Amino acid sequence: MKLRPVRPGDEREYAGVITSIHGDEGVDPAVLQARWQREKRLPQNQGRYLILEGGQTCGYAFWTRPADWAAGPVKAANVNVRMIPGRQSAQDFAWILTQMETAAKSSGADVALAVAREDDDFHPGALAACGCRVDRLSRSWRLNLSDRTAELLLARSSARKDMARIGIEIRSLDDTADESIWRELYGLAAETIPDIPSTFSEAIPSFEDWLARMHEPGVFVD
Protein backbone atom coordinates (compact mmCIF):
# COMPACT_ATOMS: atom_id res chain seq x y z
CA MET A 1 0.00 0.00 0.00
CA LYS A 2 1.09 3.58 -0.59
CA LEU A 3 -0.11 7.04 0.34
CA ARG A 4 -0.95 9.82 -2.11
CA PRO A 5 -1.84 13.34 -0.94
CA VAL A 6 -5.41 14.24 -1.84
CA ARG A 7 -5.84 16.68 -4.70
CA PRO A 8 -8.74 18.47 -6.40
CA GLY A 9 -11.03 15.89 -7.96
CA ASP A 10 -10.51 13.28 -5.21
CA GLU A 11 -13.57 14.38 -3.25
CA ARG A 12 -15.93 11.70 -4.58
CA GLU A 13 -13.32 8.98 -4.11
CA TYR A 14 -12.71 10.08 -0.52
CA ALA A 15 -16.44 10.29 0.21
CA GLY A 16 -16.93 6.85 -1.32
CA VAL A 17 -14.47 5.34 1.15
CA ILE A 18 -16.44 6.81 4.06
CA THR A 19 -19.70 5.30 2.82
CA SER A 20 -18.14 1.93 1.98
CA ILE A 21 -16.96 1.54 5.59
CA HIS A 22 -20.28 2.55 7.15
CA GLY A 23 -23.27 2.70 4.85
CA ASP A 24 -25.14 5.01 7.21
CA GLU A 25 -22.41 7.65 6.99
CA GLY A 26 -21.99 10.00 4.11
CA VAL A 27 -20.46 13.32 3.21
CA ASP A 28 -21.19 15.69 0.35
CA PRO A 29 -18.13 15.96 -1.93
CA ALA A 30 -18.79 19.71 -2.10
CA VAL A 31 -18.32 19.88 1.67
CA LEU A 32 -14.98 18.09 1.35
CA GLN A 33 -13.93 20.42 -1.45
CA ALA A 34 -14.65 23.49 0.69
CA ARG A 35 -12.79 21.99 3.66
CA TRP A 36 -9.73 21.14 1.58
CA GLN A 37 -9.67 24.61 0.04
CA ARG A 38 -9.73 26.09 3.54
CA GLU A 39 -6.97 23.77 4.71
CA LYS A 40 -4.75 24.72 1.76
CA ARG A 41 -4.23 28.11 3.39
CA LEU A 42 -2.30 26.41 6.21
CA PRO A 43 -0.76 23.29 4.65
CA GLN A 44 1.64 22.89 7.56
CA ASN A 45 -1.29 22.09 9.86
CA GLN A 46 -2.59 18.92 8.22
CA GLY A 47 -2.05 16.13 5.75
CA ARG A 48 -4.76 14.13 3.97
CA TYR A 49 -4.08 11.08 1.84
CA LEU A 50 -5.73 8.36 -0.18
CA ILE A 51 -4.47 4.84 0.51
CA LEU A 52 -3.77 3.07 -2.78
CA GLU A 53 -2.98 -0.52 -3.62
CA GLY A 54 -2.67 -1.89 -7.11
CA GLY A 55 -3.98 1.37 -8.54
CA GLN A 56 -7.18 1.16 -6.49
CA THR A 57 -8.28 3.31 -3.57
CA CYS A 58 -8.69 1.22 -0.43
CA GLY A 59 -8.84 3.86 2.29
CA TYR A 60 -7.76 7.27 3.49
CA ALA A 61 -5.54 8.67 6.23
CA PHE A 62 -5.06 12.09 7.78
CA TRP A 63 -3.54 14.15 10.54
CA THR A 64 -4.72 17.61 11.54
CA ARG A 65 -3.81 20.16 14.17
CA PRO A 66 -5.46 23.46 15.12
CA ALA A 67 -4.16 26.67 13.62
CA ASP A 68 -3.57 27.83 17.19
CA TRP A 69 -3.18 25.43 20.10
CA ALA A 70 -5.84 25.87 22.77
CA ALA A 71 -4.64 27.10 26.14
CA GLY A 72 -3.49 24.14 28.17
CA PRO A 73 -0.50 21.99 29.01
CA VAL A 74 -1.04 19.47 26.18
CA LYS A 75 -1.06 20.02 22.41
CA ALA A 76 -3.41 17.48 20.80
CA ALA A 77 -3.68 16.61 17.10
CA ASN A 78 -6.19 14.36 15.33
CA VAL A 79 -4.98 11.35 13.34
CA ASN A 80 -6.74 8.42 11.72
CA VAL A 81 -6.54 5.66 9.16
CA ARG A 82 -9.65 4.20 7.55
CA MET A 83 -9.60 1.11 5.33
CA ILE A 84 -12.48 -0.32 3.33
CA PRO A 85 -13.77 -3.84 4.13
CA GLY A 86 -11.86 -6.51 2.25
CA ARG A 87 -8.72 -4.36 2.06
CA GLN A 88 -8.01 -4.07 5.77
CA SER A 89 -4.55 -5.03 6.97
CA ALA A 90 -3.38 -4.63 10.57
CA GLN A 91 0.24 -4.39 9.41
CA ASP A 92 -0.45 -1.70 6.82
CA PHE A 93 -2.73 0.12 9.25
CA ALA A 94 0.05 0.29 11.85
CA TRP A 95 2.58 1.57 9.30
CA ILE A 96 0.25 4.28 7.99
CA LEU A 97 -0.84 5.35 11.48
CA THR A 98 2.82 5.75 12.41
CA GLN A 99 3.27 8.09 9.43
CA MET A 100 0.34 10.22 10.60
CA GLU A 101 1.58 10.28 14.20
CA THR A 102 5.10 11.23 13.12
CA ALA A 103 3.82 14.11 11.01
CA ALA A 104 1.60 15.34 13.85
CA LYS A 105 4.51 15.17 16.29
CA SER A 106 6.72 17.12 13.89
CA SER A 107 4.06 19.85 13.83
CA GLY A 108 4.34 20.20 17.61
CA ALA A 109 1.70 17.80 18.92
CA ASP A 110 2.19 16.02 22.24
CA VAL A 111 -0.80 13.68 21.91
CA ALA A 112 -2.59 12.06 18.96
CA LEU A 113 -6.35 11.48 19.10
CA ALA A 114 -8.23 9.03 16.85
CA VAL A 115 -11.92 8.15 16.53
CA ALA A 116 -13.58 4.80 15.79
CA ARG A 117 -17.08 3.38 16.02
CA GLU A 118 -17.78 0.58 18.47
CA ASP A 119 -19.72 -1.38 15.83
CA ASP A 120 -16.69 -1.39 13.53
CA ASP A 121 -15.11 -4.86 13.32
CA PHE A 122 -11.61 -3.66 12.40
CA HIS A 123 -10.58 -0.14 13.35
CA PRO A 124 -11.02 -0.18 17.17
CA GLY A 125 -8.87 -3.31 17.45
CA ALA A 126 -6.29 -1.93 15.04
CA LEU A 127 -5.96 1.25 17.09
CA ALA A 128 -5.63 -0.76 20.32
CA ALA A 129 -2.92 -2.92 18.74
CA CYS A 130 -0.98 0.28 18.00
CA GLY A 131 -1.06 1.28 21.66
CA CYS A 132 -4.10 3.56 21.65
CA ARG A 133 -6.42 3.41 24.65
CA VAL A 134 -10.08 4.32 24.96
CA ASP A 135 -10.31 7.85 26.30
CA ARG A 136 -13.94 8.89 25.81
CA LEU A 137 -17.19 7.42 24.51
CA SER A 138 -19.88 9.45 22.77
CA ARG A 139 -23.39 8.53 21.71
CA SER A 140 -25.55 9.63 18.80
CA TRP A 141 -29.26 9.31 18.09
CA ARG A 142 -31.24 8.84 14.89
CA LEU A 143 -34.66 10.30 14.11
CA ASN A 144 -36.67 9.08 11.13
CA LEU A 145 -37.97 12.34 9.71
CA SER A 146 -40.01 10.74 6.92
CA ASP A 147 -42.07 8.48 9.18
CA ARG A 148 -42.75 11.21 11.75
CA THR A 149 -43.33 14.25 9.53
CA ALA A 150 -46.86 15.03 10.74
CA GLU A 151 -45.92 14.59 14.39
CA LEU A 152 -42.83 16.79 14.06
CA LEU A 153 -44.68 19.58 12.24
CA LEU A 154 -47.34 19.60 14.96
CA ALA A 155 -44.67 19.75 17.67
CA ARG A 156 -42.92 22.60 15.86
CA SER A 157 -46.13 24.61 15.56
CA SER A 158 -46.95 24.09 19.23
CA ALA A 159 -43.44 25.03 20.35
CA ARG A 160 -43.44 28.22 18.28
CA LYS A 161 -46.75 29.31 19.82
CA ASP A 162 -45.36 28.73 23.31
CA MET A 163 -42.21 30.68 22.44
CA ALA A 164 -44.18 33.56 20.94
CA ARG A 165 -46.19 33.90 24.16
CA ILE A 166 -43.01 34.64 26.12
CA GLY A 167 -41.49 36.89 23.47
CA ILE A 168 -39.04 34.52 21.79
CA GLU A 169 -38.76 35.01 18.03
CA ILE A 170 -37.09 32.72 15.49
CA ARG A 171 -35.61 34.33 12.39
CA SER A 172 -33.71 33.02 9.38
CA LEU A 173 -30.32 34.34 8.36
CA ASP A 174 -29.33 35.13 4.81
CA ASP A 175 -26.25 36.43 3.04
CA THR A 176 -27.32 40.04 3.69
CA ALA A 177 -27.49 39.61 7.47
CA ASP A 178 -25.87 42.49 9.32
CA GLU A 179 -22.33 41.75 10.54
CA SER A 180 -23.35 42.62 14.07
CA ILE A 181 -25.76 39.65 14.06
CA TRP A 182 -23.00 37.33 12.87
CA ARG A 183 -20.67 38.66 15.58
CA GLU A 184 -23.36 38.07 18.18
CA LEU A 185 -23.78 34.48 17.02
CA TYR A 186 -20.01 34.01 16.96
CA GLY A 187 -19.86 35.17 20.56
CA LEU A 188 -22.41 32.53 21.52
CA ALA A 189 -20.48 29.84 19.64
CA ALA A 190 -17.19 30.86 21.24
CA GLU A 191 -18.76 30.70 24.70
CA THR A 192 -20.10 27.18 24.17
CA ILE A 193 -16.95 25.58 22.70
CA PRO A 194 -15.31 25.17 26.14
CA ASP A 195 -18.50 23.37 27.28
CA ILE A 196 -18.05 20.58 24.72
CA PRO A 197 -17.03 17.42 26.62
CA SER A 198 -13.42 16.80 25.65
CA THR A 199 -10.25 15.53 27.27
CA PHE A 200 -8.29 18.42 25.77
CA SER A 201 -9.56 21.94 25.20
CA GLU A 202 -10.70 22.77 21.68
CA ALA A 203 -9.27 25.91 20.11
CA ILE A 204 -11.74 28.72 19.47
CA PRO A 205 -11.59 29.84 15.82
CA SER A 206 -11.23 33.47 14.85
CA PHE A 207 -14.39 35.32 13.80
CA GLU A 208 -13.19 35.34 10.20
CA ASP A 209 -12.59 31.58 10.09
CA TRP A 210 -15.89 30.85 11.81
CA LEU A 211 -17.83 33.12 9.45
CA ALA A 212 -16.23 31.49 6.41
CA ARG A 213 -17.35 28.08 7.65
CA MET A 214 -20.90 29.37 8.12
CA HIS A 215 -21.01 30.02 4.38
CA GLU A 216 -19.53 26.72 3.22
CA PRO A 217 -21.55 23.97 1.51
CA GLY A 218 -23.53 21.93 3.99
CA VAL A 219 -24.38 24.92 6.20
CA PHE A 220 -27.77 26.47 5.51
CA VAL A 221 -28.57 29.94 6.78
CA ASP A 222 -32.32 29.34 6.52
pLDDT by residue (tens digit) across 109-134? 999 999 999 999 999 999 999 999 99
Tell how strand 111-113 and strand 76-83 pair up.
parallel
Average pLDDT, the chain: 90
* Confidence label for 71 from pLDDT (cuts 50, 70 and 90): low
Query: Start-end ranges of CATH 3.40.630.30 in the chain?
Result: 2-129
More confident residue, 143 or 115: 115
Q: Is the pLDDT of residue 2 over 90?
A: yes
* Confidence label for 175 from pLDDT (cuts 50, 70 and 90): low
**Residue 120 to residue 60: CA distance in whole angstroms:** 16
Decide if 186 contacts 211 (C-beta within 8 A).
Answer: yes
> Of the spans 22-26, 63-67, 143-147, 154-158, which averages the highest pLDDT?
154-158
The pLDDT of 91-109, averaged and rounded, is 95
pLDDT digits (tens, 9 = 90+) for 40-53: 888 889 999 999 99
Q: Is the pLDDT of residue 173 over 80?
A: no
Helix axes 29-39 and 207-214, enclosed angle (nearest 10): 160
**Residue 17 to residue 23: CA distance in whole angstroms:** 10
The burial of 211, by beta-carbon neighbours within 10 Å (0-12 exposed, 13-18 middle, 19 or more buried), is given as middle
Please state, in angstroms and as integers, the Cα–Cα distance from residue 13 to each residue in 18, 27, 47, 80, following that order: 9, 11, 17, 17
Q: What is the pTM for the complete model shown?
A: 0.81
Q: Which of 154, 49, 159 is nearest to 96 (CA)?
A: 49
Q: What is the radius of gyration, based on Cα positions, of the chain?
A: 20
Domain 2-129 annotated CATH 3.40.630.30: yes
Q: What is the pLDDT of residue 80?
A: 94
Q: What is the pLDDT of residue 176?
A: 63
* Confidence label for 216 from pLDDT (cuts 50, 70 and 90): confident
Continuous segment of H or E residues that includes residue 9: none
